[in-house]
């Protein structure tokens, strides 16, 4: 079976800074994978590399076996790799439904505006935003804007959806709702890569977790194993804490 | 389109078509100028309004169109061919220029476009064998009566305005307009939702260049004599921006309303405040833009309609 997405020795430098160094992993169909790491580990950079916003300096990215590391962002989204942004990126003066239509019309390639609107309305119903369809996107609350990002991503008809901190800034109830949505999306057969700070969210949701630290991949394992990995504990909590943990075990 | 809007449009178009019947060449000349600026503003609006790129280079396309048409026409070819060549050259230049310049954004783009007209003006000045350089270029005389000429060029500009307006109407209501709107609001997000931003920006730029070049070519045939400092005048870059602001940026009919309103104001102020003309005009425009930031086209005709009906 070819992996849906495969990274081979991907690196990216900004000037002298190695933001991502020699990272390799695969994402299979229908998987929910968590991507975690301390602040500045390179998680968002990695998503930017995969989506073509910042092309990789070296290494290969394969989508269904075909190299995509030289493609532009719009070409990558047309192949079914969608993302949301950590800082939400709506088209502020357009209505909510128009925002979602953009994804349906361009990435998913629906040529008729009416059909794009129908598809967009479906995604709004799915994400619980149907009542706000004709409001300008800038009027939504942060939680709803995050959902709008989700709806926009879904309208692109992706088979991989990368969620960059969709829960950041949300309260507990809102997080619960967002998680329900993410599970429902996965149930449609979409592979999900979720970047997250809240360990509880990742461990509850993901079958596998990839850990980045200083731009390098330090762990790629099941959730249960990753949170016991001494290198991961060290990365998050420092070496002294990691040693104490090891002694206790 | 609402009923009062449609009514207004019909009246406006009827008056336009009937204008030559007045037999007043001064009025026709004024109307032709207004239509020319309407085309330039419509052209600017595609890039500046729909796409949100601060374009300061309409004079480049206008002048290039004027010279392309003039050179062809003065070599003895028919007017229609001259205009067609101008449109082709204007569009081709816009494609090349767009490919280079549309990587820039904001201020950098504005400055870069501002320089283009200057560069073309210098080139035209230097290429004396083809363009006549600083001495300018005389176009063959039509041999018609002044009235016949005035009517012909009025209808030529009217036709161009209609085509430009129809094109932007179609663009605004289909995929291209949607993509341009997304680019204006958030270009990075547009790219991520699958919009080939470079392609759509170049389409907008090319449309803009083609219309401005056509206006330039008609202008050259109309005046019969052009020189670099005339057709590459920076005012051809600035006025369309002000007219678009006045009429309503990013709307379909705003540019036409803005161009007509600007020239009407200009003419009125010029007649009544000969000494302070530019000062008064500037003040009026600043006031209008301050109090009507979305332009004259944002005035709700419906509300006016109901107010006058109930009064």
pLDDT in tens, A163-176: 988 777 778 888 88
Q: Who's near B271: CB < 8 A, 6+ residues apart?
A: none
Question: For residue A160, what are its two tokens?
Answer: 């991989």
B194·A94 Cβ contact <8 A: no
pLDDT of residue B136: 82
Instruction: Detail the DSSP E strand segments found in chain B.
Output: 137-138, 225-226
CA distance A232 to chain B (A): 32
pLDDT of residue B304: 61
Residue linked to tokens 């007209």: B117
pLDDT of residue B213: 96
pLDDT in tens, A196-233: 877 777 888 888 999 888 888 888 888 888 878 888 88
The model's confidence at residue A248, banded by pLDDT at 50, 70 and 90, is low
pLDDT of residue A188: 86
CA distance B198 to chain A (A): 10
Q: Domain residue spans in chain A?
A: 1-80+159-168+189-249, 82-157
Q: Which chain A residues are Cβ-neighbours of B194 within 8 angstroms? A: 74, 77-78, 103, 106-109, 156
Question: Residue A151 CB: number of other CB atoms within 10 A?
Answer: 28
Cβ-in-10-Å burial (0-12, 13-18, 19+) of B77 comes to middle
Smallest Cα–Cα separation from B182: which of A77, A24, A67, A52? A77
Q: Which chain B residues are Cβ-neighbours of A72 within 8 angstroms? A: 191, 196
Return the bridge partners of A195, or none.
A35, A164
pLDDT in tens, B110-142: 999 999 999 999 999 888 888 888 788 888 877
Cβ-in-10-Å burial (0-12, 13-18, 19+) of A65 comes to exposed
ipTM computed for the complex = 0.84
CA distance B307 to chain A (A): 28
CATH numbers and ranges of domains, chain B: 3-310 (1.10.3470)
Residues on B contacting A at a C-beta cutoff of 8 Å: 174-175, 178-179, 181-182, 185-186, 188-197
The yes-or-no verdict on residue A42 having pLDDT over 70 is: yes
Q: Which of B186, B196, B197 is closest, CB to CB, to A91?
A: B186
Q: Which of A73, A91, A108 is closest, CB to CB, to B191?
A: A73
Average pLDDT over residues A88-92: 87
pLDDT of residue B307: 61
Smallest Cα–Cα separation from B75: which of B2, B140, B134? B140
A74·B179 Cβ contact <8 A: no
Q: Which of B179, B185, B193 is closest, CB to CB, to A77?
A: B193
Smallest Cα–Cα separation from A148: which of A157, A160, A136? A136
Which stretches of chain B drop beneath a pLDDT of 50? none
Chain A: residue nearest B193 by CA?
A: A103
CB distance A184 to A161 below 8 Å: no
The pLDDT > 70 percentage for chain A reads 95
B175·A89 Cβ contact <8 A: no
Q: Which chain B residues are Cβ-neighbours of A108 within 8 angstroms? A: 194
Q: Who's near B188: CB < 8 A, 6+ residues apart?
A: A53, A89
Chain B: residue nearest A88 by CA?
A: B189
**Number of Cβ pairs closer than 8 Å across A and B?**
66
Smallest Cα–Cα separation from B101: which of B41, B67, B57? B57
- Class at the top of the CATH hierarchy for domain A1-80+159-168+189-249: alpha beta
A94·B179 Cβ contact <8 A: no
d(CA A110, CA A119): 9
């Amino acid at each position: 079976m070819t992996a849906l997405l495969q990274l081979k020795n991907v690196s990216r430098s900004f000037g002298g800074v190695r933001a991502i160094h020699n990272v390799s992993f695969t994402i299979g169909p229908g998987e929910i994978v968590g991507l975690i790491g301390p602040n500045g580990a390179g998680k968002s950079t990695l998503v930017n590399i995969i989506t073509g916003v910042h092309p990789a300096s070296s290494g290969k990215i394969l989508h269904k076996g075909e190299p995509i590391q030289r493609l532009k962002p719009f070409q990558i989204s047309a192949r079914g790799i969608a993302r949301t942004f950590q800082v939400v990126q709506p088209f502020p003066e357009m209505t909510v439904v128009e925002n979602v239509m953009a994804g349906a019309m361009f990435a998913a390639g629906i040529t008729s505006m009416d059909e794009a609107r129908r598809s967009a309305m479906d995604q709004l119903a799915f994400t619980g935003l149907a009542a706000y369809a004709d409001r300008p996107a800038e009027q939504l609350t942060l939680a709803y804007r995050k959902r709008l990002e989700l709806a926009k991503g879904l309208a692109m008809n992706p088979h991989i959806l990368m969620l960059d901190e969709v829960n950041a800034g949300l309260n507990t109830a809102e997080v619960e709702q967002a998680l329900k949505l993410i599970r429902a999306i996965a149930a449609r057969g979409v592979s999900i890569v979720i970047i997250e700070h809240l360990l509880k969210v990742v461990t509850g949701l993901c079958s596998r977790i990839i850990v980045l630290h200083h731009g390098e991949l330090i762990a790629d394992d099941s959730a249960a194993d990753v949170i016991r990995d001494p290198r991961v504990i060290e990365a998050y909590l420092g070496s002294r804490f990691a040693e104490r943990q090891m002694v206790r075990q | 389109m609402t009923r009062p809007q449609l009514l207004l449009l019909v009246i406006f178009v009827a008056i336009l078509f009937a204008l030559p019947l007045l037999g007043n060449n001064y009025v026709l000349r004024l109307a032709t100028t207004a239509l020319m600026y309407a085309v330039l503003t419509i052209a600017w609006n595609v890039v500046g309004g729909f796409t949100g790129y601060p374009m300061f280079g309409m004079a480049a396309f206008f002048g290039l169109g004027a010279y392309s048409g003039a050179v062809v026409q003065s070599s003895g070819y028919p007017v229609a061919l001259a205009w067609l060549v101008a449109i082709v050259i204007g569009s081709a230049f816009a494609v090349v220029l767009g490919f280079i310049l549309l990587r820039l954004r904001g201020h950098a783009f504005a400055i870069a476009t501002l320089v283009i007209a200057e560069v073309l003006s210098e080139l035209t000045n230097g290429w004396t064998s083809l363009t006549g350089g600083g001495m300018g270029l005389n176009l063959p005389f039509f041999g018609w009566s002044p009235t016949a000429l005035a009517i012909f060029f009025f209808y030529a500009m009217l036709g161009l305005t209609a085509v430009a307006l129809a094109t932007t109407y179609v663009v605004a209501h289909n995929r291209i307009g949607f993509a341009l709107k997304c680019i204006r609001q958030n270009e990075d997000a547009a790219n991520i939702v699958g919009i080939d931003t470079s392609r759509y920006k170049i389409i907008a730029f090319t449309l803009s260049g083609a219309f401005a070049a056509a206006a330039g070519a008609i202008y050259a045939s109309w005046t019969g004599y052009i020189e670099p400092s005339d057709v590459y005048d920076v005012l051809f870059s600035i006025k369309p921006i002000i007219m678009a602001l006045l009429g309503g940026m990013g709307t379909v009919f705003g540019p036409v309303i803005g161009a007509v309103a600007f020239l009407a104001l200009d003419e009125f102020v010029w007649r009544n405040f000969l000494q302070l003309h530019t000062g008064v005009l500037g003040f009026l425009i600043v006031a209008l833009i301050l109090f009507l930031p979305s332009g004259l086209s944002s005035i709700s005709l419906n509300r006016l309609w109901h107010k006058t009906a109930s009064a």
